[in-house]
Chain A
Amino acid sequence: MKLFVFKSKDEFIGIESDYVYRIIDDLKVTPVPLTPESYTGLLYHRGELFDVINMRLFLGYPDEGSSETTRIIIIKWLNKKLAVIPDEIVGMIWIDDNSENTNEYYHEERKIRLMKPDYIWKKLSELSYGPNKI
């Protein structure tokens, strides 16, 4: 199985490469009020709107802001689309799909947590809305 791996804080997160649509470095994200803290805003890219998630906040870590090297990973699956902001992009890796725990894989002594886009979407919808983004 081929995973697209990125890093947030010290955690390596892997998404199946079939869901990864594009990597962009355009960070013109429009914030949306009354959304969860990890919901950064909306990204307009090539005629489409993407919900942008800050993975660090999403995973419960404090935000450290963005830099020039910060990228946005655009994910598309089924008819859904999402964009996540990692700390660092590791790249494509091949892993053997014979693990008992289908959520965790090890590659070059790194523990990679497999995260499905639905999980992110579901988790995002469970997050409470707050006024902090206003």
Chain B
Amino acid sequence: MGKTSIRIKLITYFLILILVVIVVIVTVNRITGDFYLAQGLSVALAMGIGTIFGIIFSRSLILRLNKLSTAAREISDGNLTREIEIISGDEIRDLEEIFSLMVSHLRTLLFDMKSVSIKIHETNSALTKLAKKLLESSNEIDITAKSIAKSSEDQTEIVRNTTIKLEGGIKVMDELVNQSAHTISKVDEAIKKTQKGETNARETLSHLELVLKEMGEYAQPVLRLPDKVEKIKVVTNVMEAIAQKTDLLSLNASIEATRAGESGKGFAIVAEEIRNMAENSKQSSQAITRLVEDILTDNKFLKEFLVKNQTDLDKGREIIRGIVQTFGDMLYGVKEIFSEIKSMEEATIRQAKELRSFSDKFKELASFASQNFESTQKTAISTRNQKVEVRKIVSTIRLLDRLSEKMMETQQLFSLPEQTQQLPEKQPEENQP
């Protein structure tokens, strides 16, 4: 059916009325020739026809408007199943079409609203879960952050203590390095002294060898002396024997002289003198013997002394050889010690350097630990804020959920056609934080 506006209709109806009036006037005027009658009749006819037309037209309009009004009322009551019948092609049709479009849009809107509310609900559920997880995570982060903060604090303290200890260690290392340098100088001095000692010991040994050689040469006469003294003893024994024999002879001579009487008196004196001489000779011989014995005793002592001296000197030589050997060993050992201490000093310097580097790293670590502590504190605060925000989000979600429910409730107020109600069911609320 073609679209016709009311205005055109009205113009058309007016033109038809005018035409009817003109026809009536013309007809009446021809028949009657009365113009006024014709006019009056035409006016009355026009008024009657106009009223009829007006009634019909207005009735048609009111009827359609009432239909729209009824449909609007039903829609306002939530019945969106009502379809608007479009009959004419005038402006009311536009209204009907717009109304129908509006209803269609409203249906779509309600459907969308429903689906949106379901989606909101679903999203809310998911968001709630996420919020819960987020809250749990925030709690865990908070706990972890606190733990990290505590650990960072402890770590900072430990690192500080370790740094102090490292500083102490570095001082000790420096002292060790100084001590090592001092020890090295002392060991160097010891090497020089040991070398000097070894040289002195070698010189002493060579001197001792010389002394031993000379002593051996000097000792030979002393060692030969007992043989000579033994010979002297033999001679003195002979002398003593002669003296004894002489004594005996003189005694017997004096006895014989006595027996000879007065004539033997002179011989007796001679015999007595001889006896005295023999006695003197005997005493001299005995004195010589004693001297020889003394010499022998002294020689024995001297020999023993020489032997002992020789033994002692041999021992001394062995000792000095041992000392030389010991000095050599000492020198070797001291050189080894020097080398060891030198490498120890180098190692100590290296260690001190590494310890210093380690201490610097520890200082950096302390700084990092401090920063870590601050960051962890900030993290804890942020987590706390985040928790507050999450709680806010949760409350917002709840609000949104309530709104969604309200929207659903509102949507429930409207009846929709069957095909538009195929939407997913609302998920039950779970794990509300």
Measured CB to CB, the residues of A under 8 A from B are 2, 4, 17-18, 20-25, 68-69, 71, 89, 91-92
Contact = CB atoms under 8 A, between A and B. Distances in A.
Interface string B247-281: 01001101100110000000010001001000000
B255 A25 contact: no
B251 A91 contact: yes
In terms of DSSP, what is the predominant structure of the interface of chain A?
strand
Contacts of B268: 92
Q: Which one of B255, B272, B275 has the highest number of Cβ atoms from chain A below 10 Å of its Cβ?
A: B255
Given A24-B248, A89-B251, A91-B251, A18 B275 contact: no
B255 A91 contact: no
Contacts of B326: none
Contacts of A2: 258
Contacts, number: 32
Given A18-B259, A92-B258, A92-B268, A23 B275 contact: no
A34 to B, nearest CB: 33
Contacts of A23: 248, 251-252, 255
Nearest to B276: A91
A20 B255 contact: yes
Interface of B: 244, 248, 251-252, 254-255, 258-259, 268, 272, 275
B251 A21 contact: no
Nearest to A23: B251
B248 A91 contact: no
Given A69-B244, A71-B248, A92-B268, A22 B275 contact: no
14 contacts: A2-B258, A4-B255, A17-B259, A22-B255, A23-B251, A23-B255, A25-B244, A25-B248, A69-B244, A71-B248, A91-B275, A92-B255, A92-B258, A92-B272
Q: Which one of B248, B251, B272 has the highest number of Cβ atoms from chain A below 10 Å of its Cβ?
A: B251
A23 B252 CA distance: 6
B248 A92 contact: no
A21 B275 contact: no
A76 to B, nearest CB: 11
